[in-house]
Amino acid sequence: MQEKYIDETKQGEAFAILEKPENGKKLFLESYGCQMNFSDSEIVASILNEQGYNTTLNVEEADLILLNTCSIREKAEQTVRMRLAQFKNLKKERPNMTVGVLGCMAERLKTKFLEEEQLVDLVVGPDAYRDLPNLLKETEDGRDAINVILSKEETYADINPVRLGGNGVTAFVTITRGCDNMCTFCVVPFTRGRERSRDPHSIIEECQSLWDNGYKEITLLGQNVDSYLWYGGGPKKDFAKASEMQKLTATNFAQLLDMVAVAVPKMRIRFSTSNPHEMTEEVFRMIAKHDNICNYVHLPVQSGSDRILQLMNRQHTRQEYLDLIKKGKEIVPDISFSQDMIIGFCTETEEDHQMTMSLMREVEYDYGYMFSYSTRPGTPAHKKMEDDIPADVKQRRLAEVIALQGELSRKRMQGYVGRVHEILIEGISKKNKNQWKGRNSQNAVCVFDMKEDQKLGDIVSVFVHGNTQGTLLGETVESN
């Protein structure tokens, strides 16, 4: 299944690609967490490429080890800690090696990494990657180095990301950074700072350059793409202070979609993540208007209970969410939706849980990403509410929700059977090397036998004759 979150098998994957002049040093860069982190690693690689670093997939020969980390749940942090412990042993053998932590854990734990735990030499938050060359000079001189300053402006707009370990067909393009929403369970506003939007011209340039380099699909990325707003930069709150002219010429997310769809008319366009509180009907209209914008929206809801939604500060009700879904289905009849759900949030009752299940049945999501609630230090929920749902209850409810999503996914996949779908060839099937894998507009993965005239990046017409819970099985009827 193509994931909003990077595939489990890719978590912790290291990439090698750099081609620039070498400084004789080798970088081992590993990424954890969400798409945004993987996209940020491409910015980091670009910055270090300029410094002459070459990459390696072999940690044993690395001079610099960087881990781009995730704080979203405790488990994500534990994974990184285990990895750091391994590097600590390696460092005993190779004391000149530098180990650095980037991303959300760096931001959350700051100097703690350097002082208490002595696991690393370098700590760099998500808005400080431009400072990496300076920080590395400090570590070369034998000092620990840290920059975790968050920025209200940084969007790395001018940095051309080095595309890491991808398939050369699909790429991420960051459009906003940070989040101003303050959902009570979420650490992101603390680790990634204030929301800011990137200049639309630099977004379009990046999309055009990707097209020129053979890419066929882009995903516009942000913690909350719907609140994209460009009127010359700065946090959105300052919009009130913007001049009348700036307000008149501002670009919102639907307008940005329109601009991108026109600028790269054959590029497939996806976006993630949408937020029910801020998503507008206009976005659905843009999907309907442009053939190259995919008929798929990832629309996290977290819970089907109004009481829980309120405790989470999601700023919408169950009914408002269902109305938005209904609008989407009316405007884009062949649309598909996926969800994020948090199970066992503070005070969640059996009745709340049933509300979540009934909402899922009502929406009929294609996919879902479901998590047990994990309390995060510093968040409003951690400060003011008790994480009071016992682990076994969370586990049981989570299993029920996952089983239900399985049923719904299978049903949705069945609905795609018996039709021809346009599939973008993204790679070779893991299970059968004589088969391609790709996705339809609705983001459903499809596998089918290869034909001689087909290649990676082609969009082909595939007749779907069967399905499993998460995959469509088909055969090509004609190639474009």
Quick check: 55 binds ligand SAH (CB under 6 A)? no
Q: What single letter denotes the amino acid at residue 284?
A: F
Binding at 178: pick from ligand F3S, ligand SAH, none (beta carbon under 5-8 Å per type): none
Which lies closer to ligand SAH via its Cβ, residue 54 or residue 302?
A: 302
User: Which one of the spans 289-297, 319-327, 369-377, 425-433 is the region binding ligand SAH (CB under 6 A)?
Assistant: 369-377
Given candidates 189, 193, 438, 474, which one binds ligand F3S under the rule CB under 6 A? 189
Q: Of 31, 181, 305, 476, which lies in the binding site for ligand F3S, with binding defined by CB under 6 A?
A: 181
Query: Which residues are within 8 A (CB) of 212 and not within 5 positions of it... i.e. 6 or more apart?
Result: none
- Written in H, E and C, the secondary structure of 73-133 is CHHHHHHHHHHHHHHHHHHHHCCCCEEEEEEHHHHHHCCHHHHHHCCCCEEECCCCHHHHH
CB 177 within 8 A of CB 195: yes
Q: Which does 189 bind (CB under 5 to 8 A by kind): ligand SAH, ligand F3S, none?
A: ligand F3S
- With b meaning 16 or more CB within 10 Å and e meaning fewer, what string describes 20-37? eeeeebbbbbbbbbbbbb
275 binds ligand F3S per the rule CB under 6 A: yes
Q: How far apart are CA 162 and CA 29, in angstroms?
A: 13
DSSP 21: P
Window 71-100: contact mask with ligand SAH (x via CB under 6 A) = -xx---------------------------
- Stretch of 97-105, 185-193, 405-413, 466-474 lying at the interface with ligand SAH (CB under 6 A): 185-193
Residues 148 and 104: their CA atoms lie apart, in Å, by: 10
Told to check if 188 binds ligand SAH by CB under 6 A, we report yes
Helix and strand totals (H; E) in the chain = 15, 21
> Could you say which of 32, 185, 321, 367 contacts ligand SAH (CB under 6 A)?
185
Alpha-carbon distances, residue 346 vs 163, 372, 393, 425, 457 (angstroms): 40, 11, 12, 43, 45
Distance CA 339, CA 297 (A): 9
* Contact call for residue 381 and ligand F3S (CB under 6 A): no
Residue of the chain from 80, 128, 136, 188 that contacts ligand F3S (CB under 6 A):
188
Distance of CA 468 to the CA centre of its chain: 25
- Pick the closest to residue 82 from 123, 121, 119, 28 (CA basis): 119
List the 217-221 sheet strands across, edge first.
Answer: 170-174, 217-221, 268-272
Helices (H), 222-280: 244-248, 253-263
Per CB under 6 A, contacts with ligand SAH among 304-343 are 340, 342
Residue 228 as a binder of ligand SAH (CB under 6 A): the answer is: no
Does residue 273 bind ligand SAH (CB under 6 A)? yes
Report if residue 183 touches ligand F3S, rule: CB under 6 A: yes
Which of 252/273 has CB closer to ligand SAH?
A: 273
Q: Per rule CB under 6 A, is residue 376 in the interface with ligand SAH?
A: yes
Stretch that binds ligand F3S, among 107-115, 118-126, 135-143, 180-188 (CB under 6 A): 180-188
Q: Which residues bind ligand SAH (CB under 6 A)?
A: 72-73, 185-186, 188, 223-224, 273, 300, 302, 340, 342, 371, 373-374, 376
Residues that bind ligand F3S (CB under 6 A): 179, 181-183, 186, 188-189, 223-224, 275
